[in-house]
Amino acid sequence: MRKLTELHLHLDGSLRPETVWELAREKQIALPAASFEELQLKMRAPKDCTSLHEFLERFDLPLLVLQEEDALERTTFELVEDLAKEGVSYAEIRFAPQQSLQKGLTQDQVTEASVRGAKRAMELYPSIRVGLILCCMRGSANEALNLDTVETARKYLGDVVCAVDLAGAESLYPTEMFGPVFARVKEYGLPVTIHAGEAAGPDSMRTALSYGAKRIGHGIAAASDPALIEELVEKKVTLEVCVTSNYQIGAVPSLKDHPIRRLFDAGVRVTVNSDNMTISDTSLCRELELMREVFRFTDKEIDTLLEYAWEARFLK
């Protein structure tokens, strides 16, 4: 068995409900839930969730508590702890520092807090190594915040902070809108992954590639575009695919219709990831189980998926 490697995992979508409950009580933050049971329900996508809107709503709640340094440090620590206990050897955790500024933190402070949590967890669990990816956000009025994220990434790039990403509503704010941000990323030579081809089509992925992305978050839209598949194979681009999450946002009509098997058979370097452990109620091991059960991947093929992930990691 190859090393368990998780390349695509959002901090805010992977918080322990118990911690959110505790932090809210400690800091007197009003939660839209009267009981812990209600909170748990509201932090998970409904079992029959197939809409992006319903899915994205699930991020509002965790962000309420991610506004202070101790909360950022604690939640990062706990996520690394959860991954280590699952047997994951290497993981890249991502979050958008600009979403944690409501109580006056700077993006540098947000990032430093999360780095502290990651380092403390790695000391306690030496079986795991983690990197942090800083996400810029899709939006129409946040270019300055995105440029700040790029500056923060440049400043802290090293043994923990390892890349920048672009996350958010892809169909509302097309990848093409973020040229100036990624021109800066290119100028600084920062490693890049971009969410693309999830809620928009192949052109969004082509733009991401033109920005220098060697990895693409999801990228399942390529399945409908043979020329793009060829390009991905030729350029050895890695797709960070998150099957359960793709199904929950309605990107595929059913799990078995997900194109991961077709992309793999075409020679694309696809990898298996959780996206959001709490919102999607999943884990890397569960997603790998789906590969076996739904898509009939053999053990040898699973090894190849994990090998692709290991080779595409940002921290070498």
Residue 56 or 302 with smaller CB distance to Zn ion: 56
Rg (CA), the chain: 18
Q: How many CA atoms lie within 13 A of 78 on its CB side?
A: 18
In the DSSP assignment, the letter for residue 2 is P
Please report the beta strands in 53-197, taking only residues with DSSP state E, as ranges in sequence order: 90-95, 129-137, 161-167, 193-196
- Least Å distance between CB 275 and Zn ion? 5
Residue 190 or 279 with smaller CB distance to Zn ion: 279
- Least Å distance between CB 13 and Zn ion? 8
**What's the Cα-to-Cα distance from 311 to each of 7, 237, 297, rounded to whole Å?**
11, 11, 20
Active-site positions read 198
Q: How many CA atoms lie within 13 A of 130 on its CB side?
A: 34
| Closest residue to Zn ion in the complex (CB) | 275
- Least Å distance between CB 157 and Zn ion? 21
Q: How far apart are CA 107 and CA 150, in angstroms?
A: 10
Residue 24 or 97 with smaller CB distance to Zn ion: 97
Residue 94 or 116 with smaller CB distance to Zn ion: 94
Instruction: List the one residue out of 199, 202, 192 whose CA is nearest residue 168.
Output: 199
Q: Which residues are registered as beta bridge partners of 275? A: 9
Q: Which residues are registered as beta bridge partners of 267? A: none
User: Taking a C-beta distance cutoff of 8 angstroms, is the pair 10, 275 a contact?
Assistant: yes
Edge-to-edge, what's the strand order for the sheet holding 161-167?
Answer: 5-10, 90-95, 129-137, 161-167
Residues that bind Zn ion (CB under 5 A): 275
- Least Å distance between CB 21 and Zn ion? 24
CA dihedral for 118, 196, 154, 146, sign (positive or negative): negative
53: how many CB neighbours lie within 10 A of its CB? 10
Residue 148 or 275 with smaller CB distance to Zn ion: 275
Residue 107 or 274 with smaller CB distance to Zn ion: 274
- Least Å distance between CB 119 and Zn ion? 24
User: Taking a C-beta distance cutoff of 8 angstroms, is the pair 284, 272 a contact?
Assistant: yes
Three-state SS at 133: strand
Q: How far apart are CA 66 and CA 19, in angstroms?
A: 11
Question: In the chain, how long is the greatest CA-to-CA distance?
Answer: 54
- Least Å distance between CB 198 and Zn ion? 8
Residue 120 or 214 with smaller CB distance to Zn ion: 214
- Least Å distance between CB 249 and Zn ion? 10
User: Token pair for residue 303?
Assistant: 């090894």
